[in-house]
Amino acid sequence: MTATTDPAQGEARADERPLQVRTPPRSRRHTLGRVGAYVAATLLALWVLVPLVLITFVTFVPRERVRDFPKTWWPQEWSADTFLFFWNSAGVRPALWNSIVIALMTVLMAMAIGAPAGYALARFTFRGANAYRITVLSTRAFPIVILSIPLAVTFLIWGIADTRLAVALMHTALALPFVVLITSSIFLSVSKDLEEAAQTLGCTPFQAFLRVSLPLTLPGLTAAAIFTFVLSWNEVFAASILTLRNPTLPALVLDALTVSPLPFQFAAGFFLMAPSLIFLFLIRKYLLGLWGRVER
Amino acid sequence: MTHLSTSAPPGVRRWRGLAAALAGALLLAACGGGSTADLEPDELAGEADADEDADEGDGDATAGAGGDLDLTLLSTQLRPVEEAEAVRNVVLADFPGTVEFIGEDDGPFVDRILAEAEAGSGSVDVIGALHGDFGTFAAEDVLMDLSDLLEELSADREFPDSLVELTRFGTDAVYYIPWVQATYAMVASTEAIEYLPDGADLQALTYDELLEWARVLEEETGAPQFGLPAGEDGLLHRFFQGFLYPAFTGGLNTTFTSDAAVEGWSWLQDVWEHTNPQSTTYGFMQEPLLSGEVMVAWDHTARLIGALEERPDDFVAFPSPVGPEGLAFMPVVGGLGIPATSPDPEGARQLIEYLTRPDVAALTLRETAFFPGTGDELPDDLEGGVGALAEVVAAQQDSPDALPSLLPIGLGDQGGAYNKVFQDSFRAIILQGSDPAGVLESEAANLQSVLDAAGAACWEPDPDTGDVCQVG
Amino acid sequence: MAATDTPDRTRRLGHLGLAPYVLLLPSLVFLAVFFARPMVDAFTLAFEDPSGGFGLEPIRQMMADSRFGEALRTTLILLVAIVPVQFVLAMSMALVINAKLKGQSVWLYIYAIPLAVSELAAGIIWLSIFTQRGWLNSWLIQTGLLEQPFDFLGYQNRGWLIAAIVLAEAWRATSIIMIILVAGLQSIPSDYLEAAEIYGANLWKRIRYVILPMLRPSLQVALILRTVLALQVFAIVIALAGASMTVLSAEAYKWQVTYRGPNVAAAYAGLILLLSSSAAALFLWLLPASPRSGRGALNRAARPEPEREEVSR
């Protein structure tokens, strides 16, 4: 119905230029508001970025410089020494690959199982809906340390111990509540009337979902998939218990962390963080997909 | 009225691309493919195993006749990254076969071995662990008897009788082969040596002189310079069990609440005044030593070696202090065992034979600062940190006041709970400033219930009565 | 449109009566196998007498433990400190994103970064800042504010220790809330906000009367999520505080893994579960997903339907 005239059209909007509608002229107060917004944006960005820069500074210096004190504002000499030691440690690269594969498997399973449930919660009135909600929530509240041990035996009996599948199953169980709750919230944001309208136009309920709700909620669903990926990527405890020859990266690092020198710890911290930058960069367009304005 | 935009919102088309990519990646992964271009050949072998593991349980031995061995060695020892690297790349280099060396935390380690035994199939060929863990496994009967292997090995290497006795756990069987030894020692920066109290001999420092030294250091430098590994993963509980208690009381469990014990705790209260309070975050004393946060520290040899190796001119190692009852110290014995569920017991025996060879043991010592489990002669060309620590180990063992105290024995899975009693006593007495006598009185009950639960007899330095150890 | 149960509508839902259950089934089966069963195992543990029967011994043991009080206190303090800080931060970020500034994709990307940083990594990153010879002390000494490095993470400086943990956790976990709120803001029709602006509502009023009410479903999800997860803060505490401080989840972990007391570990787990579920139920009740519902919110929460008046006349 309406659209903003934004001089800075995000690239995501570039391929879709809806009807322009004149917005009211901007007042002086409004301009001040814009300046304030930029200041706030910058401060918040520094809050996020500075710690990342600091861990980078202590990772890319020669190993003997890591412990210097007081540290200079800026590294006096750069070196990949510390980082390379970590990168070349046995098992790091296979563990990285394991982490990625397990996270992707988790995303697929959790979305396939969780999103329909989220949809049901959002769209239907039925007995037990709330009980289901609370059940799902409480699963998230159960410390995984207690679940991991009985499950380790279960997986051994099933013959999938120490496989990626075992970890992915556990991670899916952990991610499900996330996915269910977030997808239900996303489906709620799209009016049910639209689907009903489509049904009156001759769509089956499934077609109505496919052609109306799904496109409108895809950005949100992408966000849910991202959370799932991240949850799996970052999960340490279950991964440590359930893997042996195929640890995930966090499991590998956790195991070595408390018994390793400071330079290694910092490099590991940097290394666990770095893929997240890359990963987010790869999907930055899909983060922008969150920007697809849902018009009603 | 509402209006439905018919063009797909931005991002949708791309999202479809992503979905396709996801599915593609998953299919690839599921088929065991994936991008293997940048992997080393041996890693590829590992990848292949990973897929075979999926149908593990058929128990098919991977070692074909005359084929390369492919073994898994799961160890609670030599876990620190640099040690593990050394084991993989140097110590195991000449072994005829592939060995996957995996370090694992004590708790998950015991869980895994017991879970594999329960499931009746396993993936671990050889386990490396401390004497205490083997006690748990011996009690659960999940290990193979290695008597014949020990016999074979004894032909050309010498296992001390005292150690062999330990491996039997009071049975006829041999549950593990002694592999490595370590101990605890002290390290100080050369700068701190200048402040040593008059007349104190670094090689035979008393507890009182150490206290005085810590006091002077703080006075002179303006900051507390003594450090203890009191962090989450620190080994401070061993300081109580193997050093402070025996040195002050001549016992451990049987003298837990004695006046001499209160004396020892008072000494710690005094020295804590001059101890860096960040000690409660230290797990690895070489780090604060290297960063200059502390100048004098006590810890496990493997957790001090880094400082001596990295800056040999700046640090010296010396024996633990001498108390009223003698120079108490704690030798740590690690062994190698074979789980009953080992996929390749024959290969496992070959690996144990290899790891206990004198030349490989010397290599292990050079690389990791773990001393051999055999009584064989140490090479005399040791240098740097290893040499310094080897001298300390020898000095502690050969001291006329030597009072060796073993790691707790027979506690089974109660080891952590046992340590907790000492950690909690430390928190109450030192961190919260409670009266030592009162705390020890109430913790004694916890200590007794741990010993009862484990059914553990007393161990050195307490006299063994053959019955469950009684807290005194 | 207000939902009214017309006969027509009832009939349509009638033949869909089974649909929700079919949609829920896979997730229920999954949770039964991977949660319910191990959970039952765990709960029998929490109420297991040493003799093997039913008893309260593990609970007694947990409460008698010298660290129990401290762990519970610290957990609650952290919870009360972390959640509000995160919400203010996340709301600011979401509003900044929603303000359609130049380079908004870059802002969003930056704010989302910690989303993918693990608790473990965040702990290490903030350790490099707060440790005695870390960044913070370096700056304080370089600028002449301090003579000697201050021990932020020592057991004797509980306030600083808690502040460090709160900062680290807020830094790490705010992005998740931000994303949820941004997704929620997306669903607020812009004509609402524009109308409010035209009629002269200032920023605070727009937040108070338009944004927050419309964001209710997202806020509810985010609040529950954060509270539940804040109760499980674990790796960050271990990384930053070491043995100086303990929380419930760390105790549960230690009892399970280190002290080998699965019964007491299960008791701790049960306590965390109890706290989490109470908090979740509270939010469901206090913050019903649909506006205009007071009591009976729980029933409404099951079928939240944004009821909107027609604005575009």
Do the chains contact at C154 and B277, CB–CB below 8 Å? yes
How far is Cα C303 from Cα B215, in angstroms, rounded to an integer?
A: 69
pLDDT tens by residue, chain B, 472 residues: 333 333 333 333 344 444 444 433 333 333 333 332 332 323 222 222 322 233 333 333 333 334 578 999 999 988 877 788 889 999 999 999 999 999 887 777 888 899 899 888 889 999 999 887 887 788 788 999 999 999 999 988 888 776 787 788 778 899 999 998 888 999 999 999 999 998 899 988 999 999 999 999 999 999 999 999 998 778 999 999 999 999 999 999 999 999 999 999 999 999 999 999 889 888 889 989 998 889 999 999 888 988 998 898 999 999 999 999 999 988 888 999 999 999 999 999 999 999 999 889 888 888 877 888 776 666 666 767 788 887 887 788 778 888 888 888 778 678 889 999 999 999 999 998 999 999 999 999 999 999 998 888 888 789 878 789 999 8
**Kind of pairing between the strands at B126-130 and B97-103:** unpaired
User: Cα(C50)–Cα(C58) distance, rounded to whole angstroms?
Assistant: 9
Name the H helices within chain A: 28-59, 81-88, 92-123, 129-140, 144-158, 164-188, 192-200, 205-208, 214-234, 237-242, 249-257, 262-282, 284-289
Structure tokens at A99: 């982490």
Main-chain dihedrals φ then ψ at residue B275, nearest 5 degrees: -105, 140
The per-residue pLDDT for B225 is 95
| Among chain C residues, CA nearest to B283 | C242
Chain C residues touching residue B428 (CB < 8 angstroms): 66
Count of CB atoms situated within 10 Å of the CB of C39? 22
Interface of A with B in 204-243 (CB under 8 A): 212, 215-216, 218-219, 222, 240-241
Q: What is the pLDDT confidence band of residue C185, given thresholds at 50, 70 and 90? A: confident
C-alpha B355/C-alpha A144 separation (Å) is 37
Q: What is the pLDDT of residue A32?
A: 65
pLDDT at A50 over 90: yes
Which chains border A (3 or more CB–CB pairs < 8 Å)?
A: B, C
Task: Pick the residue from chain A with its C-alpha nearest to C179.
Answer: A223
| HEC-encoded secondary structure of chain B | CCCCCCCCCCCHHHHHHHHHHHHHHHHHHHCCCCCCCCCCHHHHHHHHHHHHHHHCCCCCCCCCCCCCEEEEEEECCCCCHHHHHHHHHHHCCCCCEEEEEEECCHHHHHHHHHHHHHHCCCCCCEEEEEHHHHHHHHHHCCECCCHHHHHHHHCCCCCCHHHHHHHHCCCCCCCCEEEEEECEEEEEEHHHHCCCCCCCCHHHCEHHHHHHHHHHHHHHHCCCCEECCCCCCCCHHHHHHHHHHHHHHCCCCCCCCCHHHHHHHHHHHHHHCCECHHHHHCCCCHHHHHHCCCCEEEEEHHHCHHHHHHCCCCEEEECCCEECCEEEECCEEEEEECECCCCCHHHHHHHHHHHCCHHHHHHHHHHHCCEECCCCCCCCCCCHHHHHHHHHHHHHHHCCCEEECCCCCCCHHHHHHHHHHHHHHHHHHHHCCCCHHHHHHHHHHHHHHHHHHHCCECCCCCCCCCCECCCC
Chain B's closest residue to A106, CA to CA, is B26
pLDDT score for B182: 83
pLDDT tens digits, one per residue of C264-281: 888 888 888 888 878 878
Neighbour tally for B180: CB within 10 Å: 26
Distance, in Å, from the CA atom of A57 to the CA atom of A49, rounded to the nearest integer, reads 12
Give the mean pLDDT of C237-262.
Answer: 81
Question: What single-letter amino acid sits at A190?
Answer: V
In tens, the pLDDT along B209-224 reads 999 999 999 999 999 9
Q: With CB atoms and an 8 Å threshold, state whether A191 touches B2.
A: yes
Q: What is the DSSP letter of C33?
A: I
Which of C153, C256, C260 is the closest to B278 by Cβ?
C153
Dump pLDDT digits (tens) for A119-137: 888 888 888 888 888 788 6
**What is the reported pLDDT for C16?**
55
